[in-house]
Amino acid sequence: MAYNDLWARRLRERQAKLGKKNPDMVAATGIPTRTYSNYPRGEREPDFDTLLKICRVLRTTPNYILLEDEPEPLSPAEIRLVEIYRNLTDEQRSTFERVVSSFRAESPLSPSSRQPPLTLDAAPEAPATPKKRIA
């Protein structure tokens, strides 16, 4: 994939994900309308300072915009979940992992996209022993 194609596609994708139109980007970055309109079409490349302005507005990194194998950056909510997880005790992490796994297992995904329950290096639980009823 050509650099211009990747840059333009990633730019369009981030704008769409955040619900930002070109006029919003122009207003937020101070880039002239005519100049900015060339970026999503891949007809022009920004200088580094301009790229940084765009990335700040799109809450992303230059690496994500420019590099093919760079994953999309975490959202603030995802970052907060990681912070919470890192501050849990081992027992709390185990509980957290079971809850997350149950959401994935019960999600209403189509059969072709259904994923197995998430495992986060936790040992499998032993099956529960049925309780005996006292008559």
Q: Using CA atoms, how far apart are residues 118 and 128, in angstroms rounded to an integer?
A: 20
- Give the residue ranges of the chain where pLDDT is below 50: 1, 110-114, 117, 122-127
Sign of CA dihedral 14, 18, 20, 25: negative
Q: Sort residue 42 into left (φ over 0), alpha (ψ -120 to 50) or beta.
A: left
The pLDDT value given to residue 116: 52
CATH of domain 3-66: 1.10.260.40
Residues listed for the chain: 135
The pLDDT value given to residue 24: 96
What ranges do the domains of the chain cover?
Answer: 3-66, 76-106
